[in-house]
Amino acid sequence: MILVLLGPPGSGKGTQAKRLSALRGWPQLSTGDMLRTAIAAGSKLGLEAKSFMDQGNLVPDSVVVGLIAERSSQADCKNGFILDGFPRTIPQAQSLDQMLTAQSRRVDKVLLFQIENEELVKRLSGRRVCSNCGSMYHVEFSPPKASGVCDKCGSKALIQRDDDQAAVIEKRLKVYQEQTEPLVKYYTDAKKLKTLDATLQPEQVEENLLKMLS
């Protein structure tokens, strides 16, 4: 199964990709995570990406297409993978189709996470991420058991992402509307798109997502 999770920033793609990956064993391919790893490593690619990400803009298509081409060719992706945050533009979707066609594969399903902007701003501004193990929390909706301490690894480094500041959130939502929303038509025309109510509790979203895959 090659699955695309499509939706605005904060709609819960990463949360559901992690749950589904744990359940089904398909790796989560998150371009956002890959870029943040490159930034943390101080690589040339990371430095280039950071200037785009900090301003809420998209990183150039050629960069993210290259990341996905490399990662998806690894052995653990043989039985499928979950794309989280990719594709985000029509050229990225076209590159993905070309890449998969060359391997006699294709995107099987695209799930669109639907939710209002007001709720997205609440989710993004309250998000905290463990900088040690990557576990995700929300100060109101899913706080850690002990304030400021990661439930999974015990680290006290629960941080707010640089791009979860109010001004950057606003820009990311605008960029989504202008550059990523056209993918809804692209995948509707390809008869691959299904819509998911992303306003529900994570457990309920997961249950509905699993039904859509069966």
Question: Distance (Å, rounded) from C-alpha 202 to C-alpha 211?
Answer: 14
Give me the 11-50 binding string for ligand AP5, x by CB under 6 A, dash otherwise: xxxxx---------------xx--x---------------
From 50, 71, 138, 183, residue interacting with ligand AP5 (rule: CB under 6 A)? 138
Q: Interface with ligand AP5 includes 169 (CB under 6 A)?
A: no
From 21, 114, 142, 165, residue interacting with ligand AP5 (rule: CB under 6 A)? 142
Active site residue 36: no
| Residues 45-84 within binding reach of ligand AP5 (CB under 6 A) | 52-53, 56-59, 64
Question: Distance (Å, rounded) from C-alpha 2 to C-alpha 68?
Answer: 13
Closest residue to ligand AP5, judged by C-beta, is 32
DSSP string over the chain: -EEEEE--TTSSHHHHHHHHHHHH-PPEEEHHHHHHHHHHHT-HHHHHHHHHHHTTPPPPHHHHHHHHHHHHTSGGGTT-EEEES---SHHHHHHHHHHHHHTT----EEEEEE--HHHHHHHHHTEEEETTT--EEETTTB--SSTTS-TTT--S-EE--GGGSHHHHHHHHHHIIIIITHHHHHHHHTT-EEEEETTS-HHHHHHHHHHHH-
Residue whose CB is less far from ligand AP5, 19 or 104: 19
Which of the stretches 40-48, 101-109, 151-159, 199-207 binds ligand AP5 when contact is defined by CB under 6 A? 199-207
| Residue 17: count of CB within 10 angstroms of its CB | 24
- The nearest distance, CB 80 to ligand AP5, in angstroms, is 19
Residue whose CB is less far from ligand AP5, 71 or 138: 138
| Options 19, 88, 123, 128, the catalytic residue | 88
Residue whose CB is less far from ligand AP5, 80 or 126: 126
Q: So which residues are the catalytic ones?
A: 13, 88, 127, 161, 172
Interface contacts to ligand AP5, rule CB under 6 A = 7, 9-15, 31-32, 35, 52-53, 56-59, 64, 85-86, 88, 92, 123-124, 127, 136, 138, 141-142, 163, 172, 201-202, 205
